Amino acid sequence: MLHNHHLKIFSGRAHPQLAEEIADYLALPMGRLTLGNFPDGEVFVRIEEDVRGRDVFLVQPTCPPVNENLMELLLMLDSFRRASAARITVVLPYYGYARQDRKDVGRVPISAKLVANLLTSAGANRILCCDLHAAQIQGFFDIPVDHLLAAPVFNEYLRGMGFPQSELVIVSPDEGRIKQAIKHQKVLGGGLAIVDKRRASATETNQANMIGDSVRGKIAILFDDMITTAGSMVGAVNIVRANGAREVYVCATHPILCGNAVDRLREANINQILVTNSVPVPPAKQLPNLKILSIARLLGEAIRRIHCNESVSRLFE
Amino acid sequence: MLHNHHLKIFSGRAHPQLAEEIADYLALPMGRLTLGNFPDGEVFVRIEEDVRGRDVFLVQPTCPPVNENLMELLLMLDSFRRASAARITVVLPYYGYARQDRKDVGRVPISAKLVANLLTSAGANRILCCDLHAAQIQGFFDIPVDHLLAAPVFNEYLRGMGFPQSELVIVSPDEGRIKQAIKHQKVLGGGLAIVDKRRASATETNQANMIGDSVRGKIAILFDDMITTAGSMVGAVNIVRANGAREVYVCATHPILCGNAVDRLREANINQILVTNSVPVPPAKQLPNLKILSIARLLGEAIRRIHCNESVSRLFE
Amino acid sequence: MLHNHHLKIFSGRAHPQLAEEIADYLALPMGRLTLGNFPDGEVFVRIEEDVRGRDVFLVQPTCPPVNENLMELLLMLDSFRRASAARITVVLPYYGYARQDRKDVGRVPISAKLVANLLTSAGANRILCCDLHAAQIQGFFDIPVDHLLAAPVFNEYLRGMGFPQSELVIVSPDEGRIKQAIKHQKVLGGGLAIVDKRRASATETNQANMIGDSVRGKIAILFDDMITTAGSMVGAVNIVRANGAREVYVCATHPILCGNAVDRLREANINQILVTNSVPVPPAKQLPNLKILSIARLLGEAIRRIHCNESVSRLFE
Amino acid sequence: MLHNHHLKIFSGRAHPQLAEEIADYLALPMGRLTLGNFPDGEVFVRIEEDVRGRDVFLVQPTCPPVNENLMELLLMLDSFRRASAARITVVLPYYGYARQDRKDVGRVPISAKLVANLLTSAGANRILCCDLHAAQIQGFFDIPVDHLLAAPVFNEYLRGMGFPQSELVIVSPDEGRIKQAIKHQKVLGGGLAIVDKRRASATETNQANMIGDSVRGKIAILFDDMITTAGSMVGAVNIVRANGAREVYVCATHPILCGNAVDRLREANINQILVTNSVPVPPAKQLPNLKILSIARLLGEAIRRIHCNESVSRLFE
Amino acid sequence: MLHNHHLKIFSGRAHPQLAEEIADYLALPMGRLTLGNFPDGEVFVRIEEDVRGRDVFLVQPTCPPVNENLMELLLMLDSFRRASAARITVVLPYYGYARQDRKDVGRVPISAKLVANLLTSAGANRILCCDLHAAQIQGFFDIPVDHLLAAPVFNEYLRGMGFPQSELVIVSPDEGRIKQAIKHQKVLGGGLAIVDKRRASATETNQANMIGDSVRGKIAILFDDMITTAGSMVGAVNIVRANGAREVYVCATHPILCGNAVDRLREANINQILVTNSVPVPPAKQLPNLKILSIARLLGEAIRRIHCNESVSRLFE
Amino acid sequence: MLHNHHLKIFSGRAHPQLAEEIADYLALPMGRLTLGNFPDGEVFVRIEEDVRGRDVFLVQPTCPPVNENLMELLLMLDSFRRASAARITVVLPYYGYARQDRKDVGRVPISAKLVANLLTSAGANRILCCDLHAAQIQGFFDIPVDHLLAAPVFNEYLRGMGFPQSELVIVSPDEGRIKQAIKHQKVLGGGLAIVDKRRASATETNQANMIGDSVRGKIAILFDDMITTAGSMVGAVNIVRANGAREVYVCATHPILCGNAVDRLREANINQILVTNSVPVPPAKQLPNLKILSIARLLGEAIRRIHCNESVSRLFE
């Protein structure tokens, strides 16, 4: 085998803009690929350049429409494997089905594991992902997984806003996100509080159920990994406001924004909503107070290091 | 293990009506299963009754929306496997992605094989399918595949119409379906002809390019495995009419009917269109001259035989 | 194959007493098995009765000495597979290496996944386990996993103590166990509080860092999944006492009790320590205020249901 | 791993002459390998030079004696895998058992899939094959398959004969090979006809059952993928002659020539029989009107491109 | 699944007579199966009766022609797997390629392991074999292997001959079979001796190189696992005779008898040659002093016990 | 992928001294790795330098404590695989559980095969081992195995002692090691004898049961692959002495020396005990007449050749 294992970046149809930003960071042209649907909806794939022996990265967040994006990714994998790519890394800035990661009741799937099995079965050699809903999903794979964290991107932006530490309170919007809140608090300083969702219902948001440091008169920053319908987050925001917070910032890596999320967020009293471009946010959903931070440099640098056999974990030291 | 390997039929959301007809034939209640979508489009599955040690059959044609139906099927498989079903047979009256069964050009997927790998990886123990686009797809699996043929259902109906053999001509709508036409001609008698599509374009259908027995003044019956956009089939019908056929019947197992298939078929000069219920045909697409023949008895009897360890191939002797 | 798939219970050397209690519940004799070590420490296994076609359950918590117990289990699996058991269920009341379930830093193993792969590779057909450190470990397997919860055993015992709800506070010993505490609080009633470990160090336990409902003058019940060195739990107990709790109860499913755990617990001001017999507690470690609740009935009933193809999840409804 | 992944060509005993022609094209010496049979018929293999880390190509058509050639190939694969070759490509100019590619009746093997599984299981990393009986066999593999077509070799030779297009008719010897005939007709021009084998039996070859363009007074060229007993092909030739063809040429990639094929071909009225050297034709079977076209350049160029990570599909553009 | 897992015995073409004897022992009719070769030598298989859900045993020693017999067996396995047999046990009274069980030199196959992999890959669920050349071959499989010993059959016959123990010497024909000789000597009594082949060449057999008890004037019984060309065994016999043995008996489980084995044995001075019917001995090879002991009862009883889930190892207690 | 596939040597805790000697031979620094145990005995692993794309060799004989050493090795494999090493070779100078390599009785494990499966499942790409108890263990793997022989190391040392061939007798301590004795005798010359253990018991060692050349007045050299409790070897030495040997040398590759081996060897009348450093011998066990020969050069040279794709088998020509 001759050694022209050049790096190539290809994008599915889920988020070509992110793929292009990554390619720009790496100073590479986008790999040429034709994707489409037959009249009956079946996906077709044709790779339009040589990929034999190349080190291929496929960028495809499996955001909504999740089943379309996932099947397209699987068909891309089959194409690249049969076209003799030397190595295929799936770049999943957002991992669809991640929340179904265990059986809490009987007779349900572990969808996140199924997805892992499907990706491996279709030919993935490695996974590069970002802010998994549960870190244990790494263990759903036996192929190597590089797990990036967007936290430094948020922290860097927030530090740039110059909030005095004494006025900050980091807030976990529910008990499931306390660890994430603590990690941010360690970097950003300030107090720590938890919204106690047991007693707060969506309809009675004026109740003041919080535990931890008081947010009264403070700048509250809430962190979650994703915003889907925004019901849960907006409920938390309302409680934080009812407890007297002066300013409220909301941070979430993955802006899925489905259902009436946009309406809820528009009506909520939020100073700024910070998200990343791990999934596309169509212009119609880009509220004036929505700030999209790019993770293209983070992904691009990780890809470069994977390709060059340099340490990825050192990115976070 | 105690032995209550009772037969259970479950249906995905692709075609519950067919599943119910099958269950009726078997005098069984439908298995209880909750299927739905989360607000972000992810599918959820919950099996609502005990399935440990049961002999489970999942009915799900992977017709459009193919990616939705396929992912739902894969998630059902994961659920039943983890719920300890004794055996899971996937009943695929229609096999989506079947036409992408080889690489005719470089750097494309073999989608039909990918689907086979995904089904096996997700937990299928057996496959029951019907009129595969290519019989070689059986070999894409290492698990047992029972391949049913709808031909007897068509032939029985057509014989019931009492056409005199001397007036019949069986027509292959293109050179790829000649073998199928010959098989029907052996049973139904009459002549045999082929539409020569090389010279006939969709826009010049008045040309009379046919080879084989003449259809002039005869009853022509065209057979294909599926109708998708109907462009190809209606083109063939027009040629057959241009060659002087008196009556034209069109038979196809799988009525996908996508794009403007219904309009095309409505405007074509066809006496009757015979299809099966391998995939659902919504009422809006049920043209007055569309006759849907049920394969529920065929599938039901095959399921009974599989469950009881009786011969399925004997169904076709 | 004739059908004498009788249920058989076998025990490794990790916890034969539990296996016997399970067998008693099922009114079965223990399966006969010789286990030992060669002079060089290699384990030998010989099954001393017919197991062809039997439904075999191997009881072996992988508690310390974890590597000995795990290798013995793997060798038992190889023996039973080669001896043609019809099905082998590994009963793991305690899952060793469960805490290493993800990569928090670079270049470490995901030991809990490795263990899952080893068990499957050695021949396990199913897993029956109890109070996994993270529920996602179920997804480390593609074979069926039944995950039992000891919570009802604790709740039943605690309700029997007749504490008035108004005097109870359920306490999470750190932020990682809040969900577990909430679940118990929903059943037992009373208040909810969290020990805030960020500011409490092992040496400064007199500080009063708690958030949530006050424990002053109340009966505090702390829940964790396991006690290893007891350093963390005793630290939490001290904080709870420093905050004025009147009585303190500590509950943990798995009493590993290694290092100087027993000394720490003896010196701590705890009214009662409740654990289960998921792992053996040698007499020397059985403090006067240690109460061991048996999960033998729970495991035995689950085994009976698995063998008889009855629902296990219904055990928790 | 140091990088001396040099290309090496090795040959089994099925067709060393072809392997040598390929090696000549690549200007490489043949790899040294000892092959033989023990007195009881078991095959022995010993590789006589270093192959660690080499890019190895094994040339072995699985022509008759098919079981001997296939087992020898499997033992070669095991040897090279255990000898640490970097990559092993099986070069199968002819794929034995290819015709048994589906189950047309119950309870038969899918032999072509079994062969695919055996090759993969024994250590093949890639397949390079030529004119598969059914293109779907590519999908029997999950490893990459390069599928070469001998059609350009035939077309180039035939064009060199200078037949006027107006006198040519491309003939499919039966309804199963129409697609192949159409492809040649697109390149070579002329008419198109099909021998209608339904009515023509081996004993009544004087009947004139053909459909399509008339061959009367024309030069007929028949195409098939292989000639085994020649019964079917000679039957078609006789019909073509009975229909008045002036000259008859027969083309087939794989000259298996078993049973009394040679006698049949000698007695048939054929101007020239064109085949390739995909399988060896012993001198005794080389009829005066048999022309063997070499595919060594085609295979050699494909091997060079595979080794150098260049496009193979571009060979056919 | 209904439970008609009846036992069925099928035979390949290697040794139908043995299969029939086994079926007789079990009072079962032979399973109906059509086996043949296409004109090009490819094997065809068709199972002629229902086998769904049956417990199938395939009898096929892989004796010469080994590659034909092995490929036929693999094709049978593929057929039965695809025909939905409940379980397939391969009965290999003789395991071809067993002597190539390790790499003594570099770059050779481990053919016996390749065969194990091929059998498993083709669908074998269990193996039943007899007197493997090396017992370690059991470990080449991960499916269950039952390993029968023909020693009791030989010992029973020899005891029936009434040799006084004081006149017997058990002889190992070379240093590799000493363990086998010792096992027989433990049962039959008498002395023990070893032919020292280092100094004895095929051409100088009159040399008296033996170690251990003297055979002078004694009845020598030589044991080996197989006789192939008989060169080695006849060399040992000659040495034993040269050392003054009064009578010489030769015992070997597998009478392969290839090359000029029969001539060598005819000319050697042997009182009786005892073998089993693990492989067929054609009449032309049945020397007057060749006694064939049947292992059909042994195999039949093992099959019965496997089917009924009874202990097979107890057969040898 | 960039190509910095540098060679790296890492050591587990079983035998770091040997790993360092190997690294010295290769003029490489030892790879940095943290290994330890949590308080409950679970092993932790952290690789302390980049290993992406490196060619990694893990040195870990699985000597006692075998289960600790083996589990540590498996966890190291998981770590290196997930850390994206290009290739992982397990260097097993001693293969624990090797003696349990077949089923001599029913219902026991084939532990040596289980170990092979565990290593492969955990991520080993190749094995480098030394003097396996049975050469067939190579076939327990489908990954490449390089099997080194320590015989040349012993022979070179012994030749250096200048024994006259006429005074030497090579002795097999039992009938299972005759082949090994013969191999040494071919190189060293002298006579050959076997200790006949059937009649010699541990308590009656004064009996003179030997077969073959006489040792009276000679220098006897006994060879075995390992010394565990030394009971068997010392028994053989006593017999050899009782037969009048003048000097006795004992050679064994693997000095496990467990139980009261050291006491037995001290009390036995042995001139010198030669072993290798395949496993560590703690100073307390280093008897004055124990000579440890290093195999570090042998292992180091094999590693160099594997890394550079040079022939390893040529090491023994």
Measured between beta carbons, the chain C residues lying within 8 angstroms of B79 are none
Q: What is the mean pLDDT of chain F?
A: 94
Cβ distance D309 to A83 less than 8 Å, yes or no, reads: no
In a domain, A2, yes or no: no
pLDDT at A271 over 80: yes
Measured between beta carbons, the chain F residues lying within 8 angstroms of E176 are 179
Same domain, C201 and C300: no
Chain F neighbors (3+ CB pairs < 8 Å): A, C, D, E
Rounded Cα distance, F287 and F280, in Å: 14
Q: Which of D95, D103, D127, D149 to mutate to test the interface with B (most CBs of B within 10 A)?
A: D103
List beta partners, residue B193: B171, B212
Domain count, chain E: 2
In a domain, F1, yes or no: no
Residue E106's SS3 state is coil
Nearest chain F Cα to D81, which residue?
F144
Same domain, D160 and D125: no
Which of C42, C45, C117 is facing F108, going by the closest CB pair? C45
Cβ distance E144 to C3 less than 8 Å, yes or no, reads: no
Choosing from E113, E197, E285, E291, the catalytic residue is E197
- Band of the pLDDT at A203, cuts 50, 70, 90? very low
Chains C and E touch (3+ CB pairs under 8 A): yes
Cβ distance C1 to E55 less than 8 Å, yes or no, reads: yes
Same domain, C146 and C175: no
Cβ distance C1 to E145 less than 8 Å, yes or no, reads: no
Share of chain C above pLDDT 70, in %: 95
| Pick from A215, A226, A295, A291: nearest CA to A261 | A226
Same domain, F140 and F157: no
pLDDT at C254 over 50: yes
Rounded Cα distance, C50 and C83, in Å: 8
In a domain, C1, yes or no: no
Which of B103, B198, B211 is facing D182, going by the closest CB pair? B198
Which of C3, C50, C82 is facing E310, going by the closest CB pair? C50
Q: Measure in Å the smallest separation between the Cα of F97 and chain E Cα atoms.
A: 13
Q: How many CB pairs under 8 A join E and F?
A: 81
What's the rounded mean pLDDT across residues A70-76? 98
HEC string of chain F equals CCCCCCEEEEECCCCHHHHHHHHHHCCCCCCCEEEEECCCCCEEEEECCCCCCCEEEEECCCCCCHHHHHHHHHHHHHHHHHCCCCEEEEEECCCCCCCCCCCCCCCCCCHHHHHHHHHHHHCCCEEEEECCCCHHHHHHCCCCEEEECCHHHHHHHHHCCCCCHHHEEEEECCHHHHHHHHHHHHHHCCEEEEECCCCCCCCCCCCCCEEECCCCCCEEEEEEEEECCCHHHHHHHHHHHHCCCCEEEEEEEEECCCCCHHHHHHHCCCCEEEEECCCCCCHHHCCCCEEEECCHHHHHHHHHHHHHCCCCHHHHC
| Segment E9-21, tens digit of pLDDT | 999 999 999 999 9
DSSP state for residue D30 in the 8-state scheme:
B
- Band of the pLDDT at F196, cuts 50, 70, 90? confident
A309 near F2, Cβ under 8 Å?
yes
Strands A272-276 and A247-255 come out as parallel
List beta partners, residue C247: C219
Same domain, F228 and F143: no
Rounded Cα distance, C30 and D306, in Å: 61
Q: Which of B309, B310, B313, B314 to mutate to test the interface with E (most CBs of E within 10 A)?
A: B309
Measured between beta carbons, the chain A residues lying within 8 angstroms of B141 are none
**Residue C209: its pLDDT value, please?**
80
**Residue B200: its pLDDT value, please?**
44
Q: Which of B52, B54, B121 to mutate to test the interface with C (most CBs of C within 10 A)?
A: B52
Structural domain boundaries enclosing C138: 7-150+296-316
Cβ distance C2 to E86 less than 8 Å, yes or no, reads: no
Measured between beta carbons, the chain B residues lying within 8 angstroms of E3 are 3, 5
Same domain, A161 and A78: no
pLDDT at C224 over 80: yes
Which of C75, C109, C256 is facing F45, going by the closest CB pair? C109
| Segment A157-191, tens digit of pLDDT | 999 999 999 999 999 998 888 889 999 999 999 99
Rounded Cα distance, E227 and E252, in Å: 6
Choosing from F183, F197, F285, F291, the catalytic residue is F197
**Is C183 a catalytic site residue?**
no
What's the rounded mean pLDDT across residues B281-285? 97
**Residue D198: its pLDDT value, please?**
65
What's the rounded mean pLDDT across residues E260-270? 97
Cβ distance B110 to D198 less than 8 Å, yes or no, reads: no
Same domain, B197 and B143: no
Measured between beta carbons, the chain D residues lying within 8 angstroms of A86 are 309
Helical (H) or strand (E) element with D225: strand D219-227
In a domain, D211, yes or no: yes
Same domain, D111 and D215: no
Cβ distance D147 to B175 less than 8 Å, yes or no, reads: no
- Give the residue carrying structure tokens 């496993």: F279
Measured between beta carbons, the chain F residues lying within 8 angstroms of A125 are none
**Residue B175: its pLDDT value, please?**
82
What's the rounded mean pLDDT across residues A264-279? 98
| Pick from C293, C315, C280: nearest CA to C159 | C293
**Residue B3: its pLDDT value, please?**
53
Cβ distance C1 to E126 less than 8 Å, yes or no, reads: no
Cβ distance F2 to A306 less than 8 Å, yes or no, reads: no
Rounded Cα distance, E58 and E77, in Å: 8
Q: Which of C76-85, C146-155, C225-234, F205-214 bottoms out in mean pLDDT, i.e. has the lowest?
A: F205-214
Q: Measure in Å the smallest separation between the Cα of D271 and chain A Cα atoms.
A: 41
Nearest chain E Cα to B6, which residue?
E1
Nearest chain A Cα to B255, which residue?
A40
| Segment E143-171, tens digit of pLDDT | 999 999 999 999 999 999 999 999 999 99
pLDDT at A202 over 80: no
Rounded Cα distance, C146 and C167, in Å: 36
CA angle E281, E283, E287 (to 5 degrees): 85
ipTM exceeds 0.90, yes or no: yes
Find how far residue C32's CA is from the centre of its chain: 25
| Segment E198-244, tens digit of pLDDT | 654 444 544 558 888 899 999 999 999 999 999 999 999 999 999 99
Chain B residues touching chain E at CB-CB below 8 Å: 3, 5, 55, 86-87, 126, 142, 144-145, 306-311
| Segment F18-39, tens digit of pLDDT | 999 999 999 999 999 999 999 9
Rounded Cα distance, B176 and B50, in Å: 46
In a domain, A49, yes or no: yes
Q: Which of A87, A145, A309 to mutate to test the interface with F (most CBs of F within 10 A)?
A: A309
Q: Measure in Å the smallest separation between the Cα of D129 and chain B Cα atoms.
A: 13
| Segment B66-78, tens digit of pLDDT | 999 999 999 999 9
| Segment C116-132, tens digit of pLDDT | 999 999 999 999 999 99
Q: Which residues of D are catalytic?
A: 197
| Segment B81-124, tens digit of pLDDT | 999 999 999 999 999 999 999 998 999 999 999 999 999 999 99
Choosing from B113, B183, B197, B285, the catalytic residue is B197
What's the rounded mean pLDDT across residues D79-102? 97
pLDDT at C201 over 60: no
Cβ distance C140 to A140 less than 8 Å, yes or no, reads: yes
pLDDT at E299 over 50: yes
What's the rounded mean pLDDT across residues D31-47? 98
B193 near B173, Cβ under 8 Å?
no
Cβ distance D139 to B313 less than 8 Å, yes or no, reads: no
CATH at residue F171: 3.40.50.2020
Same domain, F75 and F191: no
Cβ distance D228 to E39 less than 8 Å, yes or no, reads: yes
Q: Which two tokens stand for residue D15?
A: 């067709």
Residues 6+ positions from E201 with CB-CB distance below 8 Å: none
In a domain, B223, yes or no: yes
- Please report, for residues C63, C253, E58, E149, F294, the alpha-carbon distance to residue C93 in angstroms, rounded to integers and kept in the order given: 9, 10, 42, 41, 46
Rounded Cα distance, F145 and F89, in Å: 9
What's the rounded mean pLDDT across residues A95-107? 95
**Residue B60: its pLDDT value, please?**
98
What's the rounded mean pLDDT across residues C162-188? 92
What's the rounded mean pLDDT across residues C239-254? 97
Chain D neighbors (3+ CB pairs < 8 Å): A, B, E, F
In a domain, F2, yes or no: no
H-type helices in chain A, by residue range?
16-26, 66-82, 111-122, 151-159, 178-188, 231-242, 261-267, 296-307
**Residue C212: its pLDDT value, please?**
84
Q: Which of A188-202, C151-165, C184-198 bottoms out in mean pLDDT, i.e. has the lowest?
A: A188-202
**Residue F201: its pLDDT value, please?**
46
- Band of the pLDDT at D200, cuts 50, 70, 90? very low
Same domain, E76 and E166: no
Same domain, E66 and E85: yes
Which of B3, B50, B81 is facing C310, going by the closest CB pair? B50
pLDDT at B285 over 90: yes
Measured between beta carbons, the chain C residues lying within 8 angstroms of A171 are none
In a domain, D1, yes or no: no
Q: What is the mean pLDDT of chain C?
A: 94
Same domain, F61 and F175: no
